[in-house]
Chain A
């Protein structure tokens, strides 16, 4: 197996606060990796660094052998680093079909096209419809986004990301706040992704984490505390301490 993503001494300070500190970490191609840690540990900030929304204070990011530390967020998406958001970031004024088609069109550089109506871009619309259907959203395609259930909006968030054809998918708490009966849809979707997509999953629900992950990284106070197999992490004394006696099977605060 080869390394798809690597960070070296990656840090980010906000004023006096070190949100991410000196994280050196490598992700294998095709990985099923979870990133866990208490609230405020710096998990979202780490994703913001990887996607380029937030510039690092120190350190380097390498993706597929290329130094992408200074690359714009758009350029990183084009190289295949795609994320979902902890808080839904959708287009409320669009239907899911339009939103996913827009991602497809942007990916193919066709969103510049001005003279042919959207309705005549059959390839993009068909691809979007197929993608939505494969995530079980076929019946919600034309419903205004705001009228879809929260759990399915979380799925749509993933669907939009998949439309970008990610090589590396960064999922920021995809199941957070989703009622029990809709959680499985989300985790099945993630579990069924092809191995050509590497996945880094942030999640608080330890059931989901242990079901999905082949490796787990633990971030505490911005620093990478432990990285290993689920067994190694579950039995690590430092991890237990960091969670202050909370059982790892219970969702962390």
Chain B
């Protein structure tokens, strides 16, 4: 089942050859949502400003390429490293307070970065965006082509590698500890767990992967705009987790695909009102499928198992 899922990008490539940029965007959004899921779905840290780390990664990768270092893989690692460092430092601010404070602080951090990027136009291009991002071929072989073939495969592979790493983390003892912190911090302290250290670590790692997602966007589209730091980007990742299901690694991927496809489709048929329909759909989902798509999928699997058990009896 999982192997089939990860083979999907191949038929998709041939079926939707002309829509590859959309598929690439979905992969990037999925990675961004996955990084938020570690923080929100597993560690239980609410955030309205996850775009801060996405944007830092995007500008890092973009600026490196503009200033003469267009090597994609090291550029991506640099994007992740800068976001990781920023995540580590800001985690101490974010984790101090209650949920409400955390919402405010994360939002404030992303808004400050947005304002800074806007002011530092000499560096970031400001509102015009950062032009002149030229990427070297991956491994010196695969050129980023006009059709977006390379960008597509590159994004899918980075998503896959990050997915494997994040899944290893959530299935490890550390992942169990995060579930403990989210489930009952009082009990976690009573078994001597370093609750805050666990949270700092989760926030830092989540920020790092968000940076990689941002770097990926800059490299794949060869452009960075202020948009990478905007509030709607943080909100989008939250919506994706609502749709796909949080605290479940596949939730981010399913949610990203459903969200972008729905957005495309709705904005095609009702250009003015698509946000309304998206909102209506979300309300239905929250009312009838709290666990998102992944929750529906699990309920379906459970029901299938149950009927099979009953037939066997």
Contacts and interface: CB of A to CB of B under 8 A. Distances in A.
Contacts of B193: 74, 106, 111
Contacts of B188: 106
B96 interface: no
A118 B176 contact: yes
A73 B177 CA distance: 17
B190 A78 contact: no
Nearest to A80: B192
Contacts of A164: 191-192
Contacts of A103: 191
A121 B176 CA distance: 12
Contact of B190 (A77, A105, A116, A119): A77
B177 A102 contact: yes
A117 B171 contact: yes
B194 interface: yes
B177 A105 contact: yes
A89 B186 contact: yes
Nearest to A100: B191
A51 interface: yes
Contacts of A83: 190
Contacts of B168: 114-115, 117
Nearest to B178: A111
Count chain A CB atoms within 10 A of each CB in B177, B179, B191, B201 and give the residue with the most.
Answer: B191
B296 interface: no
B191 A102 contact: yes
B190 A94 contact: no
B210 to A, nearest CB: 18
B191 A77 contact: yes
Contact of A94 (B174, B183, B195, B201): B183
Nearest to B186: A89
Q: Closest 9 interchain pairs by CB?
A: A77-B192, A111-B177, A89-B187, A103-B191, A91-B183, A114-B174, A106-B193, A117-B171, A105-B173
A74 to B, nearest CB: 5
Given A89-B186, A93-B183, A74 B192 contact: yes
A173 B117 CA distance: 57
A106 B172 contact: no
Contacts of B252: none
A19 interface: no
Contact of B172 (A76, A115, A161): A115
B190 A51 contact: yes
A121 B172 CA distance: 9
Interface string B191-221: 1111100100100000000000000000000
A110 interface: yes
Contacts of A99: 180
Interface of A: 51, 53, 73-74, 76-78, 82-83, 85, 89-94, 98-99, 101-103, 105-107, 110-119, 121, 124, 160-161, 163-164
Contact of B192 (A78, A113, A121, A124): A78
Contact of A116 (B172, B177, B187, B195): B172
Nearest to B201: A112
B174 to A, nearest CB: 5
Given A91-B179, A94-B180, A94-B183, A113 B191 contact: no
Given A113-B174, A117-B168, A118-B172, A74 B180 contact: no
A105 to B, nearest CB: 5
A89 B190 CA distance: 9
A48 B177 CA distance: 23
Nearest to A113: B173
B169 interface: yes
B176 A85 contact: no
Nearest to B205: A114
B303 interface: no
A90 to B, nearest CB: 7
A165 B169 CA distance: 27
A205 to B, nearest CB: 23
A6 B176 CA distance: 35
A164 B177 CA distance: 15
B12 to A, nearest CB: 30
B72 to A, nearest CB: 25
A159 B35 CA distance: 34
B19 interface: no
B176 A98 contact: yes
B253 to A, nearest CB: 20
Given A111-B174, A111-B176, A113-B173, A91 B184 contact: yes
A83 B189 CA distance: 11
A123 B168 CA distance: 19
A107 B173 CA distance: 12
A121 B179 contact: no
Contacts of B201: 112
Given A89-B187, A91-B187, A102-B180, A118 B175 contact: yes
B194 A89 contact: no
11 contacts: A74-B193, A82-B190, A89-B187, A90-B184, A92-B184, A102-B177, A105-B177, A106-B177, A111-B176, A112-B177, A117-B172
Given A78-B192, A105-B177, 5 more contacts: A89-B186, A91-B184, A102-B180, A124-B173, A164-B192
